[in-house]
Amino acid sequence: MAILETKHVTKNFGGLTALQDVSFALEKGEVMGLIGPNGAGKTTLINILSGAFHPSEGKVIYQGEDISRLKANLVNERGIARTFQVVRIFKRLTVLENVLTAMVDRGKDGPWRLVWGSFFRRACAFNQDRDACATADGLLASVGLLDYRDERAENLPYAMSKRLEIARALATRPKVLLLDEPSSGLNPAEQNEQIKIIRQINEQGISILIIEHVMKVIMDISHRLIVLHYGEKIAEGEPEAVYNDPLVVEAYLGGEGNA
Amino acid sequence: MAAKQKIWAGLGLVACLALPLIITDRYIQHLLVMSLIFVIFSSSWNLITGYSGQLNMGHAAFFGIGAYASALLALKLGVSPWIGMFLGGLLAAAAGFLLGIPALRLSGPYLAITTIGFAEILRLVAMNWVDLTRGSLGLYGIPPLPGFWGIRFTSELTFYYVALAAAAWALFCFRRITRSEFGLSLQAMREDEIGAESIGIGTNRYKLTVFTISAFFGGFAGALLAHYQRLISPDMLSLGETFQALTMTMIGGLGTLTGPVIGAVLLTFLSEGLRFVEDAVKMDVRLIIYGGLLIVTILFMRGGIMGLWERWRGRSAGDGEEA
Ligand SMILES: Nc1ncnc2c1ncn2[C@@H]1O[C@H](COP(=O)(O)OP(=O)(O)OP(=O)(O)O)[C@@H](O)[C@H]1O
Ligand SMILES: [Mg+2]
């Protein structure tokens, strides 16, 4: 059963068409790899799925609901979390606070309830709330960040900041996780670690869409692959089959030839 | 740790309560009152700009709205200043909500210019609506806070305790708010707006909320000043007042609770000290000194005095505030 799908999604930026009539479905519980040469529209697709952009044409359907026009925060509230190609962690907050902020139950009535509530708690600071911290510590441990708990996020080594983004996304209790190049810039040992973490997340039942340039990672972890080229979907299916698809080979070789 | 903190807080409170009894010089007492009012004013600016990253350069608007509203309510309608101060704060909060609306679309220098414009328009209204505000003459003869139990709030000494209670209450609120889920969300928004939205923070509503809260306390501080000085003028709405809050906060430590407190006390006393120099050289040296201090802060001690303190203690954790 599809948990998240796009139907004929097109995205134009002025004259440039970043996505052209893209339809695909992410099945519940699967890891789907999203590949394609530079500028193919991969990040744009994640931006559209997560509500950061809205499609020019077509629809995004999540569990039967049309979420094409929802803002990013509401999409996240529905159960879709993401990471970014260029990390967007909260630099001057601690690692723990990064995760805690994502855990907040924001409800329907918005920030005023949180303001009001701040006057009626026993622990006077949210980052000292025992239950919340215990949950956050668990999440940090699951991505191997517990040792950095009280470090400011800006002081993290690069690989750790990528993991923090994953932990932060998980803290919103998503059903779908969208990962934009989670292992770019990592050394091979760190990449292996990253694969392990992503696999564990998937084993908890979270469906994953992952963009990756590192072929070893993507072949290792995906159940299925889709390929974008100049904004169009040119292949979809089993990783092995897609990898040997002549169209895909040409897209990659052609892309390099032009560069 | 917590017990030690409580002891320090207790000692601090006793010191604050005893201070004007030890220092009986009325002029120094006056400076203490002004410091406390600016503690509230700068801290409220810090909430918008230091914690949530919205460059608000029109904070003087709230200061002035609170002052004029409470003063006029007392002068024209006979509303008790005790109530008027809160009404002034609420009116400023309403203005804060309105000013928050452009902040949904603008940021950085664009927001700064818009907010300056907002305050400047209000200053011109106060200058030109002579029937109501007496224009540049300002309002005088503003009623003092009504006394009770035989205490009158017309002396520096008695008003000091009112201002102390007000500042303590405001700081208590700021402490609660900034350390709550809401406060963390504000800081997340300051660090990365797109990142914040990706984890479910609806930044629009958070911005409107923080503008409203911050404006309330800015207006409240203005009303307090009105009933203390009993004389206000459109200067309260000028960019100079916002700049005062900015300088105090930056020097003390932007985005920390203690920063604006230290900065407000320090600069209130410093600028009075400079008044003697001004009289000697017949020149407005205050703004020059403020500007100089600000540049030194930005170049050599980002994070202000609190930043230096944190580094000296060799701590890297925390959001820069005294835990
Ligand atoms: N906000 C935007 N405004 C205008 N053009 C954009 C915007 N975002 C992306 N584009 C353009 O859309 C096209 C697809 O970009 P996208 O970032 O989705 O590619 P990508 O597949 O993620 O590439 P990479 O592998 O380099 O990350 C590019 O030509 C890019 O310049
Ligand atoms: Mg990309």
pLDDT tens for each residue of B108-163: 888 888 889 988 898 888 778 877 788 777 888 888 877 788 777 777 778 899 99
Residues A88, B195: C-beta atoms closer than 8 Å:
yes
The H or E element that residue A239 is part of is helix A239-244
Residue B321 has pLDDT above 70, yes or no: no
User: Does the beta carbon of A44 lie inside 6 Å of ligand 1?
Assistant: yes
- Going from the Cα of A39 to the center of ligand 1, the distance in angstroms, rounded, reads 5
Question: Nearest residue of B to residue A107 by CA position?
Answer: B200
User: Does the beta carbon of A85 lie inside 6 Å of ligand 1?
Assistant: yes
| Confidence label for A171 from pLDDT (cuts 50, 70 and 90) | very high
| Confidence label for A157 from pLDDT (cuts 50, 70 and 90) | very high
Q: Residue range B183-188: average pLDDT?
A: 94
Parallel/antiparallel/unpaired status of strands A80-82 and A65-66: unpaired
Please compute Rg for chain A using Cα positions: 19
Q: Please name each of the domains of chain A with its CATH number.
A: 1-79+176-259 (3.40.50.300), 89-173 (no CATH)
Mean pLDDT rounded to a whole number for chain B = 86
Residues B182, A82: C-beta atoms closer than 8 Å:
no
Note the pLDDT of residue B154.
73
Q: Which residues contact A42 (CB under 8 A, 6 or more apart)?
A: A34, A35, A36, A180, A211, A228
Q: Residue range A211-233: average pLDDT?
A: 89
Among B46, B28, B37, residue whose Cα is nearest residue B190: B46
Distance from C-alpha of B161 to C-alpha of B148, rounded to nearest angstrom? 14
User: Does the beta carbon of A41 lie inside 6 Å of ligand 1?
Assistant: yes
Residue A185 has pLDDT above 70, yes or no: yes
Residues B319, A97: C-beta atoms closer than 8 Å:
yes
Asked if residue B322 lies in contact with residue B260, where contact means CB atoms within 8 angstroms, the answer is no
Note the pLDDT of residue A123.
62
What residues of A are in contact with residue B173 (Cβ under 8 Å)?
Answer: 119
Q: How many CB pairs under 8 A join A and B?
A: 132
Distance from C-alpha of B51 to C-alpha of B49, rounded to nearest angstrom? 6
Note the pLDDT of residue A167.
95
Note the pLDDT of residue A258.
42
User: Does the beta carbon of A47 lie inside 6 Å of ligand 1?
Assistant: no
Distances in Å between the Cα of B18 and the Cα atoms of B37, B157, B164, B305 are 18, 11, 12, 26
What residues of A are in contact with residue B188 (Cβ under 8 Å)?
Answer: 90, 93, 98, 101
Distance from C-alpha of A74 to C-alpha of B253, rounded to nearest angstrom? 34
Q: Residue range B169-180: average pLDDT?
A: 91
Nearest-atom number in ligand 1 for the CA of A44 is: 18
- ipTM at complex level: 0.89
pLDDT, tens only, A84-122: 999 999 999 999 999 999 998 887 778 887 878 777 776
The H or E element that residue A164 is part of is helix A158-170
Q: Residue range B244-249: average pLDDT?
A: 91
User: Does the beta carbon of A40 lie inside 6 Å of ligand 1?
Assistant: yes
What residues of B are in contact with residue A171 (Cβ under 8 Å)?
Answer: 199
Q: Which residues contact B305 (CB under 8 A, 6 or more apart)?
A: B251, B252, B253, B259, B262, B263, B266
- B78 exposure class (CB count in 10 Å sphere: 0-12, 13-18, 19+): exposed
Share of chain B above pLDDT 90, in %: 38
pLDDT, tens only, B200-246: 999 999 999 999 999 999 999 999 999 998 889 888 888 888 988 99
Q: Tell me which of A50, A104, A116, A151 to substitute to probe the interface with B (most B C-beta atoms closer than 10 Å).
A: A104
Mean pLDDT rounded to a whole number for chain A = 89
Residues B199, A168: C-beta atoms closer than 8 Å:
yes
Share of chain B above pLDDT 70, in %: 96
Interface check for B314 against chain A (CB to CB < 8 A): the answer is no
Q: Residue range A40-69: average pLDDT?
A: 94
Question: Nearest residue of B to residue A166 by CA position?
Answer: B199
Note the pLDDT of residue A254.
66
Among B51, B52, B74, B49, residue whose Cα is nearest residue B62: B49
pTM: 0.88
Distance from C-alpha of B112 to C-alpha of B123, rounded to nearest angstrom? 17
Note the pLDDT of residue A243.
82
- Going from the Cα of A49 to the center of ligand 1, the distance in angstroms, rounded, reads 15
Share of chain A above pLDDT 70, in %: 96
